[in-house]
């Protein structure tokens, strides 16, 4: 049983679907009345599914704020999170296929984008209907280690110091995190992947995201590189929806 908030576009028959993941420590209830790029996607005609990541929202363990448990128990917490969330993406893709003839896509920002990357690799071994048709990746990087060891949010949490206290070294944590890295090549056609990166992003470091785009050979028209940081980029996206319009163009062509 998987739960997600579903935003239906008004008056659209067989809409395309996007399963859109949030970032770590982000909870949907906090977004009430704030700028939100998902609203833009829904107005474009997408059915938007917003699953709550493990250890967030209604899934928080008692005594923890949303996402805290992942950092407090890293690296095992992030392995548990991704194992559950990736399996849930499969359930949600199946639901989308059964409830619309439109394309089924994955996306998200930060942690949500990293989860979409993992699925792009894992789904190579899944049935055809559980493979996403397109990806929308916002603020992502090429290795989970970049975000969870070297990223600014990890440093703010003191995650590495906490690991050292429990006997973990950078080297053995990195070995575990390799299981969560994106594939050398995605199961999705690179022409159907749109990426948005911030040059000043230190949470999911920009250099790693750029390396992934080069490795996956994303075309220039599918790369959007802006001068923002990790937290200002989503706000910029609500003011400049060019990446979302490009994604809509790709998905519309897939529906024909």
Domains within the chain, CATH numbers bracketed: 4-255 (3.40.50.1820)
Candidate from 91-95, 104-108, 183-187, 220-224 with smallest mean pLDDT: 183-187
Q: What's the distance, Cα to Cα, between the start and end of the chain in Å?
A: 32
pLDDT number for residue 31: 64
Confidence band, pLDDT 50/70/90 cuts, at residue 35: low
Tell how far CA 82 is from the center of its chain. 11
Q: Give the pLDDT mean for 64-87.
A: 89
Q: Give the pLDDT mean for 130-149.
A: 93
170 near 149, Cβ under 8 Å? Answer: yes
- pTM for the structure as a whole: 0.93
Residue 61 DSSP one-character state: P
* pLDDT at position 218 over 70: yes
**Cα 208 to Cα 18, 66, 147, 255, distances in angstroms:** 25, 26, 9, 32
Q: Give the pLDDT mean for 7-25.
A: 93
Confidence band, pLDDT 50/70/90 cuts, at residue 42: very high
List, in order, residues 6 or more apart from 179 with CB less than 8 Å away.
79
Q: Give the pLDDT mean for 76-105.
A: 95
pLDDT tens by residue, 155-171:
777 666 666 667 777 78
22 near 225, Cβ under 8 Å? Answer: no
Instruction: Give the H/E segment covering residue 241.
Output: none
Q: Is the dihedral of CA 74, 82, 212, 236 positive or negative?
A: negative
* pLDDT at position 151 over 90: no
């Amino acid at each position: 049983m998987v739960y997600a908030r579903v935003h239906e576009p008004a008056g659209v028959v067989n809409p395309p679907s996007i399963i859109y993941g949030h970032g770590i420590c982000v909870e949907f209830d906090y977004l009430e009345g704030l700028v939100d790029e998902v609203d833009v996607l829904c107005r474009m005609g997408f059915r938007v599914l917003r699953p709550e990541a493990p250890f967030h929202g209604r899934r928080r363990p008692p005594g923890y704020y949303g996402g805290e448990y992942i950092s407090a128990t890293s690296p095992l917490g992030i392995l548990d999170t991704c194992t559950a969330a990736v399996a849930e993406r499969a359930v949600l893709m199946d639901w989308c296929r059964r409830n619309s003839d439109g394309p089924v896509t994955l996306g998200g920002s930060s942690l949500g984008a990293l989860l979409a990357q993992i699925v792009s690799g894992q789904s190579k071994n899944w049935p055809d209907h559980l493979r996403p048709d397109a990806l929308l990746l916002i603020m992502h990087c090429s290795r989970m280690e970049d975000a969870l060891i070297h990223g600014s949010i990890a440093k703010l949490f003191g995650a590495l110091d906490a690991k050292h206290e429990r006997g973990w070294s950078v080297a053995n944590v990195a070995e575990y995190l390799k299981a969560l890295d994106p594939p050398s090549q995605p199961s999705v056609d690179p022409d159907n992947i749109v990426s948005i990166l911030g040059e000043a992003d230190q949470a999911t470091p920009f250099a790693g995201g750029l390396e992934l785009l080069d490795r996956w050979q994303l075309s220039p028209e599918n790369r959007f590189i802006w001068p923002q940081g990790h937290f200002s980029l989503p706000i910029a996206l609500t003011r400049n929806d060019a990446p979302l319009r490009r994604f809509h163009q790709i998905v519309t062509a897939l529906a024909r």
